[in-house]
Amino acid sequence: MADQKNDLNSKPAPTVEEEISKIDSYDVIPPVQMLQILKVLNERRRQDAKWGGAEHDDRHSRDEWTRLICRIVVEGVMNSGPTDENLIKGLVETAAVAVAWLEAIERRKAQ
């Protein structure tokens, strides 16, 4: 019963528009952060072109997403070797896959 009461009293998740409205201003994002965000967005575009975008992503279960991110961390970050460039590439790929998962969650919530 307590769980049902909590469910009834809980607020609905905010919409994308509501989340965006919480951001003060894009012009306050430091250039170094914007550069990293743009790298992740470019990697997301590459992934969508390679794998097919939402149609592909939305078929993954939570377990599949978890295994995928863990594999990318191990392969792309832990095995990056001594160069920062390889480490950066692995971190960007990991972040982009995490964004893909977040996008899939948002699409599922919107249904």
67 falls within a domain: yes
100 falls within a domain: yes
pLDDT digits (tens, 9 = 90+) for 7-56: 445 677 777 677 767 766 556 778 899 899 999 999 999 999 999 999 99
58 falls within a domain: yes
pLDDT of the residue at 6: 41
Query: Which residues span the domain enclosing 82?
Result: 25-110
Quote the number of domains for the chain: 1
User: Which has more confidence, 67 or 111?
Assistant: 67
Structure tokens at 99: 């964004």
Q: Are 35 and 87 in contact (CB under 8 A)?
A: no
37 falls within a domain: yes
Task: Give the ranges where the chain is alpha helix by DSSP (H).
Answer: 2-9, 16-21, 31-51, 54-57, 62-72, 84-110
Mean pLDDT (the chain) is 84
pLDDT digits (tens, 9 = 90+) for 47-101: 999 999 999 999 999 999 999 999 998 888 788 788 888 889 999 999 999 999 9
pLDDT of the residue at 10: 63
Q: Which of 43, 98, 42, 34 is nearest to 66 (CA)?
A: 98
The residue to which tokens 């607020």 are assigned: 11
What crossing angle do the helices spanning 84-110 and 62-72 adopt, rounded to 10°? 170
